[in-house]
Structure 1
C-alpha cells in the first residue's frame, strides 16, 4: 500500500504540474481534487505546501509590479489570511469534502460557461476584501485558493502580466497562511514537510511537460478538458459523501 500510495501521489503531481505548465494555474486545484480521492482535503493540502509555495513565488516574481500590486490589493491579501484563520478556528475540516465538491463543480461550470463578471471601481473597496475572506475560508476548509479570488481578479480587467502576478500573490499568501494553520492544528509536521518537499520533483517535471505540450495543442481545448475534469471530480466528491 505504501508503494501504491507513493506512485499515486507521484502521478497526481505530474498531472497537476502538467496543467500548471499549460494553463499557468491549477496545480493546487487539480492535486487536491485527485488526492482527495484517497485522503482528506486538508491532508492533501499539507502535501502541497512546498510545491505550491515554490511555483507561486516563481509566478509572483516573474514581473516588475509586485509592490504596486501589493499596495492595490493588500486588503484582499490580508482578508485571505483572516479567512484561513477563521476556518481553522471554526474547525471546518469536518465538512471539507462537501465544500470541496461544491467548489470544484462551481469552478468547472464557471470555466465552461466562459462568463466573466465586471466589478466597478466604486465597489472594489468592499468587494475585494469580501472575495479575499471568502477565498481564505474556502482554502482553510479545502486547501483550494482559486475561488472566488481568481474570478474577482479577472473581473478587474487587469492586463495579462498584472493578473498573473496578482494571482501569484494571492496564492502565495494563502499558501503561507494555510501552512501556519496546518502547523497549529498538527497536520503540518516534519513528516508532512519532508513528503511535501519530495512532491516538488514530479510537480516540476509535470510543469516542464506542460510547457512542451502548450506549444503543441490549442490551449482552449486543454482548458475545456481541464474544467470538464474538475466538474467530474467535484460531482464524484459529492456523490460519495
Structure 2
C-alpha cells in the first residue's frame, strides 16, 4: 500500500478532504473492522472519481469506511520529511478537481516531494461553507480550503479571510462549525463604521469586494493581540455576527486560500 501512495499522491490529499466533516476538530479514531488492501484501494479510487466530478457527496457509512481504511493503511510517517507548503497541496487538489485523477498521475514530482505531499492533511483543511455571510466573495455550499499553518510564521493581514472558533458566548452555543470572516482591523487600531463606510484610524478604508454598505454604526478600539473581522455580506440578517467582530489571535484556525463550487 505504501508504494501505491507514492505512485498516486492525490489519493492521500483527497482522502483527508473527503472524510473531513464541517467542524474544526477531527473525530476520534474508532476500532477498525477487517478490510483488505484491495478493498480499500477501490474505495480510495472511488473517492478520487467523486472529487474529479466535484460531487463530494459521501455517506456517513462510506466516510466511516474511509476512516478505517486510512487508519489501517496509512502512508509511512517520517518526521524527518519536511511539511509541504499549502500551495503545493492546493496544486494537487486543483489538478484533481479541475482535470481529473489521470492528470494528477502525470505530474512529475521528486520522490522527496511526493513523500512531503503525503503530509498535506497537517497543512490544509477542507470543509463546506454553509452560510451566505461572505457573499459575493464566497458562495454558500462552496468548498473552502484553509491553510492551517500560515499564522504560525506570520501575523494575520488586513483583507485576509480567516476561519475562527466563535467566542464562548451564549449567542454562540449552537454554532458547531468555525466561522468565516474577513480581517478589517489590526491590533490597537481604531475602527469606525459610519454611513456604511469603514474608517481605520480616521482614514477611509476602500473595499471593492462588497456589494452593499453596512446599515449599522460601530466604533471600537481593537485590543492587543486581537482582530476586528466583518462579513462581506454586511447586512446579512440571517447570521448577524456583529457580537463576534473582535476575536483573539489564538481563536483563528487558518486562512482561506482557495474555494471551489460543486456541480
> Does the alignment reach a TM-score above 0.5?
no
- Superposition TM-score, scaled by structure 1 size: 0.26
- Superposition TM-score, scaled by structure 2 size: 0.25
**Relative contact order (C-alpha < 8 Å, sep 6+): which is higher?**
1
